[in-house]
Every structure is written in C-alpha cells, then in structure tokens.
Amino acid sequence: MPAVRGEGAPRGGPGYGLRVPAVRQPGARRRRPDEVAAPAPAAPPTPDPAASRPPPWKVALVAFLVLGAAYVGAYLLLTAEARRDRAALKAVRGEAMLSAPDPGAAPPGDDARAVGAWRRAKELWEDRRRHEELSDRVHTMLAGMLGAFALQAVLTAVLLAKASKRATGRPPTSGAPGRSA
C-alpha cells in the first residue's frame, strides 16, 4: 500500500484526516507479469479522396453551363451599343432605309430641288450602310462567341473523357497514337 499523507498526525492537528495517495505518473498502473497487453484497436479505414468528389460529368456540366452563361453575357455586353444604335436608326428612318439604293453622283448645282432630293437619298443610303455595318459587327461577334463556345465544349468533353478513364482505372491516352500519358 502506498504511503498516505496524514498518517500518524495527532488527532485534531494539522494534516489529520487527509488521506492523499502518494504521487505517481498519471495513467501509469502496475502490471502483473502474467498480464498481456491488449492489442491496439484497428485504425478506422481512411476514406478514398476520389469518393468524396462529385462525378466528372457533373463537374463538366457545371463548367459547361457557367461558361455558356459567361459567353452570353459577354456577347450582350460587347454588342449592346451596336444593337442600340442599329435599333435607333431603324426607328428614325423606318423600313425604307433597309432598301435605299445608292444615289449615284451629285446632280448639277443649279437645280436646288434635285440637289435636295439627292442629299436626302444620300443620307438615307449612308444610314443604310451604317445599319449594315452595325449588323455585321453584331453578327461577327456572335460568330466569334459561338466558335469560342464550341471550342470550349470540345475541350470540356475531352477533359471529361480523360477524367472518366482515370476514374475507371484505364490509363488516359495522349493525343499521339501508341503513346500513353
């Protein structure tokens, strides 16, 4: 039995009644020689990091949708002024502007009515050219955005195919035949 503090103290004196065990290392216990240490519990299995990730097709779908929205927003932003100017020209000049012919050379300066009619026809024709120029700008931007989006879709599909192959355990292939990455 370990020594106990307070033993032998006079009754009613200091230290009487204190029964404090001797200090030992915390958690240390005496073992009998015939005791065998219990095996440590098995560590819980570590989760596979790939199992916690979403499937590659979901990531590709989200990327496809986000990039599609970004392309639409960029197209609308970059063509806003051209579309607004084109609509204003059409509202002011009407449908006649869309089919206005080239007025040709200016008439002689001595006929004021012919010169006035030629100026109005020339302004209408210039507005038509401006409208066509703005339309070309909008259509060129649309073609560029659609082309870039198509390339992005192809890139996303290629990356999805590589991620799917990697997830199934097959080695991904590089672009060259006969080589693997």
pLDDT in tens, 90-107: 999 888 888 888 988 888
Pairwise CA distance, residues 163 & 50, whole Å:
11
Return the pLDDT at 38.
62
Return the pLDDT at 16.
58
Pairwise CA distance, residues 180 & 167, whole Å:
16
Return the pLDDT at 130.
95
Return the pLDDT at 154.
93
Pairwise CA distance, residues 61 & 85, whole Å:
36
The conformational region for residue 178 under phi > 0 = left, psi -120 to 50 = alpha, else beta, is left
Q: How many CB atoms lie within 10 A of CB 126?
A: 13
User: Mind listing the pLDDT tens digit for each residue in 63-84?
Assistant: 889 999 999 999 999 999 999 9
Give SS3 for 30.
coil
Q: How many CB atoms lie within 10 A of CB 136?
A: 11
| Residue 134 · residue 84 · CB < 8 Å | no
Report if pTM > 0.85.
Answer: no
Return the pLDDT at 1.
46
**Residue segments in the chain with a per-residue pLDDT below the cut of 70:** 1-40, 49-51, 169-181
Return the pLDDT at 181.
45
Q: How many CB atoms lie within 10 A of CB 131?
A: 20
Return the pLDDT at 11.
67
Return the pLDDT at 95.
87
CA distances (Å), 121 to each of 32, 125, 128, in order? 116, 6, 10
